[in-house]
């Protein structure tokens, strides 16, 4: 059996306006990762492999968790959110959201246009993103063992889409719910990818850490 524990990176620089500015952990993001690492050490710290994407916020999360010497794989990098946002505004007149309530309506529109092939000039198509995530998860499930994967919300959403056969509206809803530093478990058993845990934050459940439960 293969067990894959997917972790979304800690909070990044959420007020950034481009990928380079966004791609580093905030002070709170580092703390979220440290708390998660302590939780894992207190419960079940062993992993046969630890893998992250190549992005700074993903690698920084693994380091703050206390897992040095990890592998990196670019197939675990996040979708190109800022490029998608520019394309959907320029080509469909949908402006970037100003607050969380607008974002909840905005993201499904972006993903729907992207999945339908309705956005041009992007660094990656929806089908290419789907394929790379499916490919790396397929390789991990075939290898067996217990694997820690530190990645991003879009990748986690796509893994769950593969496991649960979600349509595009369901994928968008899942992506909206993935919290910073959250845990997600999938198991490959009986020749199937099964979801065991979604969006758990045991390291943030104490009342004094309620402020640290963030989505962006």
The CATH number for 202's domain is: 3.40.50.1240
Ramachandran class of 134: left when φ > 0, alpha when ψ lies in -120 to 50, beta otherwise: alpha
35-45 per-position pLDDT tens digit = 999 999 999 88
Residue 50, phi-psi category: left (phi > 0), alpha (psi -120 to 50), beta (remainder): beta
State the Cα torsion 26-61-65-159 to the nearest 10°: 130
pLDDT of residue 18: 86
Residues 142, 192 within the same domain: yes
62-110 residue pLDDT tens:
999 999 899 999 999 999 999 999 999 999 999 988 887 888 899 999 9
User: Quick one: which of 192, 173, 32 has its CA closest to 105?
Assistant: 173
Domain check: are 84 and 66 in the same one? no
141, pLDDT greater than 80: yes
- Domain interval for residue 93: 80-123
Q: How confident is the model at residue 186 (pLDDT cuts 50, 70, 90)?
A: very high
Distance CA 165, CA 171 (A): 9
Residues 143 and 205 in one domain: yes
In degrees and rounded to multiples of 5, residue 151 shows phi and psi of -145, -145
Residues 137 and 35 in one domain: yes
Residue 90: per-residue pLDDT: 96
Same domain, 8 and 97: no
Q: What would the pLDDT profile of 152-181 be if each residue is shown by its tens digit?
A: 999 999 999 999 999 999 999 999 999 999
The reply to whether 44 and 93 lie within a common domain is no
For the chain, what is the domain count?
Answer: 2
Element (H, E) at 94: none
């Amino acid at each position: 059996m293969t067990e894959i524990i997917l972790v979304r990176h800690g909070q990044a620089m959420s007020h950034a306006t481009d990928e380079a500015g966004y791609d580093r952990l905030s002070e709170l993001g580092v703390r979220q990762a440290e708390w998660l690492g302590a939780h894992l050490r207190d419960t079940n710290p062993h992993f046969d492999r630890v893998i992250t994407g190549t992005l700074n916020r993903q690698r920084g999360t693994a380091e703050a968790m206390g897992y040095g010497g990890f592998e990196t794989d670019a197939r675990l990098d996040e979708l190109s959110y800022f490029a998608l946002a520019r394309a959907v505004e320029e080509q469909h007149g949908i402006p970037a959201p100003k607050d969380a309530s607008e974002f909840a309506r905005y993201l499904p529109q972006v993903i729907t246009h992207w999945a339908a092939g309705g956005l041009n000039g992007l660094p990656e198509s929806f089908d290419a993103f789907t394929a790379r995530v499916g490919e790396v998860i397929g390789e991990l499930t075939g290898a067996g063992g217990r694997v820690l994967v530190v990645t991003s919300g879009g990748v986690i959403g796509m893994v769950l889409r593969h496991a649960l056969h979600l349509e595009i509206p369901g994928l968008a809803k899942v992506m909206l719910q993935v919290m910073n530093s959250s845990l997600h478990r999938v198991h490959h058993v009986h020749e199937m990818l099964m979801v065991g845990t979604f969006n758990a934050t045991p390291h943030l459940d104490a009342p004094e850490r309620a402020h640290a439960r963030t989505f962006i």
